[in-house]
């Protein structure tokens, strides 16, 4: 059984709304992550029928107190002051076996006050997609949300056509986003903004609490995690697809697997979102967009920082400028690792640029290319030893 706590609920109520899931007709468990459940402290697995009831929202697990979280966001560059969990509910937090606090959230559990006319549901396809891709990302060491369970609802969800409905149980270090800070900032209530920032420092970045300016240190810490995260995406040929500020995790995790993909034919300009007609979130734009999102985060923190006027803007700008160097250093390290070179090797950059040119011209799959290089290297090694 999971032991729920509710630390986020201690924050001011504009940041969340208590809300119950909408019952479904015939819940059925189709996937359950036993390893993740054990990490969360579930020592004895309930039967499938009980799990289906819990993770459909029909009968909540003991101790759960569902809440929809509020956030704003820049969507394709356009600011929307209120978005929020339109089809998701935070059940609470669980402290895992490593002592880390993890959110447990139902996604597709019905309408909330943030639904904006939507039905609050999710088709089966996107649920399975997020389950599989997020668990792959975790397996290869990319910071990410996780998937605990997938449940079909026995109901149809109408999108372009009628599809089977499903609910995903998502686990994350938190669901606080850049958009959460924008949601607080747009209300011009500094007490709410400060409570949110202090919560994030205590939960995710305690090392910044004793800095001369904790909020400037927070910006720097979040910038470092985002730079490392996007470098890992790029090393795998991963395209997130919708890097809106409401999909930018303050904890530094990959969150919201919508039109994401791994490139089958290497193209720096590749886009996978059907609505991204301008290529805003193309593969090679991802570092710049992450930096842009961080600038929006910095804007929300300025009122909390110690300095004022031009001085505080310059301090924040200097931190944001550092994103490029952080990203570049991590990217070089990852490239060197993939090519079997020392991290400090200058050859790694030139070799990777040449290889990317070849992959683009040859319309090559990035993952398959490195797999082939690995087999080739093993063959050469075997020949050298024989």
Same domain, 110 and 199: no
Strands 78-80 and 88-95 turn out to be unpaired
Number of other CB atoms surrounding residue 46 within 10 Å: 15
pLDDT score, position 341: 86
Residue 332: inside a domain, yes or no?
yes
Tens digits of residue pLDDT in 76-105 = 999 999 999 999 999 999 999 999 999 999
Residue 385 has pLDDT above 60, yes or no: no
Same domain, 28 and 119: yes
pLDDT score, position 382: 60
Same domain, 106 and 129: yes
Q: What residues are labeled active site?
A: 246
Q: Which band of pLDDT confidence, cut at 50, 70 and 90, is reported for residue 119?
A: very high
Residue 2: inside a domain, yes or no?
no
> In the chain, how many domains are there?
2
pLDDT score, position 329: 94
**pTM listed for this prediction:** 0.95
pLDDT score, position 262: 95
Taking residues 35-59, report their average pLDDT.
97
Residue 381 has pLDDT above 80, yes or no: no
Residue 280's domain spans which residues? 178-337
Residue 262: inside a domain, yes or no?
yes
Same domain, 326 and 289: yes
pLDDT score, position 21: 98
Same domain, 221 and 302: yes
Tens digits of residue pLDDT in 203-252 = 999 999 999 999 999 999 999 999 999 999 999 999 999 999 999 999 99
Tens digits of residue pLDDT in 149-202 = 999 999 999 998 999 999 999 999 999 999 999 999 999 999 999 999 999 999
**pLDDT, the chain, mean:** 95
Same domain, 154 and 291: no
Rg from Cα positions in the chain: 22
């Amino acid at each position: 059984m999971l032991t729920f706590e509710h630390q986020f609920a201690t924050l001011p109520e504009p940041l969340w709304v208590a809300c119950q899931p909408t019952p479904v007709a015939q819940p059925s468990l189709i996937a359950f992550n036993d390893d993740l459940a054990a990490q969360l402290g579930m020592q004895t697995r309930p039967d499938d029928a009980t799990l289906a009831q819990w993770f459909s929202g029909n009968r909540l697990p003991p101790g759960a107190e569902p809440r929809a979280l509020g956030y704003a966001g820049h969507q394709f560059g356009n600011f929307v002051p209120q978005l929020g969990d339109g089809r998701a509910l935070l059940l609470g937090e669980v402290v895992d076996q490593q002592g880390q606090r993890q959110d447990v959230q139902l996604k597709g559990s019905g309408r909330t006050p943030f639904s904006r006319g939507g039905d609050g549901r999710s088709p089966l396809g996107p649920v399975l997609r997020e389950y599989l891709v997020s668990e792959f990302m975790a397996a290869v060491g990319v910071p990410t949300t996780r998937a605990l369970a997938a449940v079909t609802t026995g109901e149809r969800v109408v999108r372009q056509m009628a599809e089977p409905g499903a609910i995903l149980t998502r686990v994350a270090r938190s669901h606080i986003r850049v958009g959460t800070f924008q949601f607080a900032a747009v209300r011009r209530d500094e007490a709410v903004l400060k409570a949110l920032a202090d919560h994030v420092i205590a939960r995710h970045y305690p090392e910044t609490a004793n800095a001369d300016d904790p909020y400037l240190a927070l910006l720097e810490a979040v910038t470092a995690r985002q730079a490392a995260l996007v470098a890992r995406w790029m090393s795998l040929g991963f395209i997130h697809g919708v890097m809106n500020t409401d999909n930018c995790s303050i904890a530094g995790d990959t969150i919201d697997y919508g039109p994401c993909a791994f490139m089958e034919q290497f193209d720096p300009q590749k886009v996978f979102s059907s609505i991204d007609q301008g290529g805003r979130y193309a593969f090679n734009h991802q570092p710049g967009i992450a930096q842009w999102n961080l600038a929006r985060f910095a804007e929300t923190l300025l009122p909390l920082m110690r300095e004022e006027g031009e001085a505080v803007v310059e301090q924040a700008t200097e931190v944001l400028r550092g994103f490029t160097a952080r990203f570049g250093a991590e990217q070089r390290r990852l490239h060197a690792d993939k090519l079997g070179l020392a991290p400090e090797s200058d050859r790694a950059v030139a070799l990777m640029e040449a290889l990317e040119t070849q992959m683009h011209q040859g319309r090559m799959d990035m993952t398959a290319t490195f797999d082939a290089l690995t087999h080739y290297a093993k063959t050469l090694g075997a020949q050298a030893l024989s």
